[in-house]
Structure 1
Amino acid sequence: MPRGGLRVYLGAAPGVGKTFNMLAEGQRRASRGTDVVIGYMEDYGRLPTRRMADGLETIPRKTVTYRGMSFAEMDLDAVLARDPGLALVDELAHTDVPGCRNEKRWQDVEELLDAGIDVMTTVNIQHLESLNDVIERITGVRQRETIPDDVVRRADQIELVDMSAEALRRRMIDGNVYPPDKIEPALHSYFRSGNLTALRELAMLWAADRVDEALLRYRDSHGIHQPWAARERVLVALSGGPEGDTLVRRAKRIAARGAGGEFHAVHVEPQSGLDATPPEPLAHQRGLVEALGGTFHRVIGDDPAPAVLELARDLNATQIVVGATRRGRLKALFSHGVGEQIIHGSGDDIDVYVVTHAEAAYRKGR
């Protein structure tokens, strides 16, 4: 039996319209003949969301008793027995009440997928495990319910449900997110403009990473070696020479010109392991790369230029930064330096920036 497909509606915060969009797509699919059911849906009293569910079959929830209290959970067995073509399951990061078969709702969804049922679901960026501490620093609130990033990354489709901070705050004021008694406290705490803007940027960056992963998988499966740029990705080649700090800072500035840009640095070591580069300058440059938010790579190769180009294509880099040659004029007459070899080998798909520096200027005069 083929596994079902998973579509995730990802939002930066509650109230952006994830559930509404999921239901709207469910209605569209149902109108085209797909057998759609609502496995679990929370409308939080939002009338537009509730109305969007009209006409869709809803699987009744089951009641689970825990510590003398009753809770309504998704009836996983009933959804499996119903065996629809598509199940709508809200709040992927939800923790099931003890007594349910699974601890987390995403595990319930895995069972539905394994049974060949397509699933649409929703999750907010603050519930992703890798961002838990970052979200706490931004909002001051630690999320108790988290979900492994890989669960969401494995989705066949991820749709970012986007809304500006100002628009979401207006929705809040209009009473379209929380009940009246919760509006003012929320506006002055979690839903401050600065918080929402930061969460929105995080959601966009996380989604952009997912796009990059999909592009890489597609390129690999189709034998495509040319970079396809979803965003700017800069690779700086470091020899360990004194120009390294200049190159790293230039690469960072180039990457920062575009939204979501990132930069990497690479040092190529010979296969013999006998690297003539002094370790101290290289260690300093690695520290600078990481302090500026970049990623440092060491690769093995006796010929630096092909090694740099191979890594650039593996990373889907759009630009390479190299230093101007430190070789004297006499050597330059008889052979190409590493920078020139990289330029010749980069083709039409990678731009190469040659950065001048004090050491190169000194060598020109010799």
Structure 2
Amino acid sequence: MTTARVVPVRPDFSARDIDDILRAVRTCLETGQLAQGAEVAAFEAEMAAYTGARHAVAVATGTAALVCGLRALAPEPGGEVLVPANSFYSSAAAPLLAGLRTRLVDVEPDTLSPGVRELAEAVTEDTVGVMVVHMGGIVTPALEAIANWCAERGLWLFEDCAHAHGSRLGGRHVGTFGAAGAFSFFATKVITSGEGGMFVTDDDDLAAAVRLHRNLGKPEAWRSYHTTLGENARMSELHAAVGRTQLRRLDEFLAVRRRLAQRYTTGLKALAGVRPLLPAHPSASWYKYVVLLDPELDRAALRAALAEAGVQLGGEIYEMPLDTQPVFADRIPPGEHPVSVDVCAHHICLPLHTRMNEDDADFVLAALAGALPAARREVAARTAPTHHPGPSPTGHSER
């Protein structure tokens, strides 16, 4: 097995970052303030300032940000949430975990997001809200129109921003176009706290409700008096200390990602059968660099050939539509989502992270050029007609 020269993700911590994290952790350990202290409060304030939201509420994971947010947005159970069919497990699971129902919606091929037309075709009388996912950090140009469409129908819009730290549309940060937004700080994300999430909103009541839900339904942080059926979804002081160092470097990270993405975009023009999925807005996070594959290319063979050449691809976004996940077989109503089916089956994500440089990007492009013939041969071999020999001159079939 060839050792990978280029890996799909690698968190970026400078010597200064590590020193600052260790200093903050030491303070936490010495004071005993491991939860609900100054680091979490500071991380929340800094995230609110960065996104332009009135409130930011730190939670344990990105999934917790979705679940707690949905419980705040829809306190009455049973309503239906429209969710893109091509997203990650948590986008579809969060409504179910919050006592709601999930209805999947197809997406547009150039944004990996539903537009107003797709939402209008899927909405029912039971729909209470819409979840839009900014896949790979790409923001659909229709986002403001979607927000207006939701408002006209009395629906809330909840943005899943797990991929979109730093993504903006028209100068406005994602997570602020609807009622609320949810971010993930998992280890693979644009910025990380190891594990963690953040709920952002301008609504005072929603922020207060999420603070209740994340802390076992307690209005007072350290008093065992519970008014809401909440859960333990708190972010620790240690995780917040890590997240703060990453947030202060986010603009630096974004600049590196954009430079590498441009390198890929230029290089891919020379390759046939592959097309980059490019955002229509300049301020994308470039969490993933998505390349759409022609049907003549076998993805598994392409992955294997790239791995042999020293390039390890990351996970797709995502490799299969949500309604084909076994866990949702009896939990989500069936539907037709042809665009989601197609894009899930025919794309890869090239390595892209801030520990890479231009030479690494060129190495990936060269490896991709070398791997494409093997991917074409695999499809050609699979689709070639089977030869059935006719009768022999003697009248007997050859065997």
What TM-score results when the alignment is normalised by the length of structure 1? 0.28
The higher relative CO (CA closer than 8 Å, separation ≥ 6) is in: 2
Larger radius of gyration: 1
**TM-score, L = length of structure 2:** 0.26
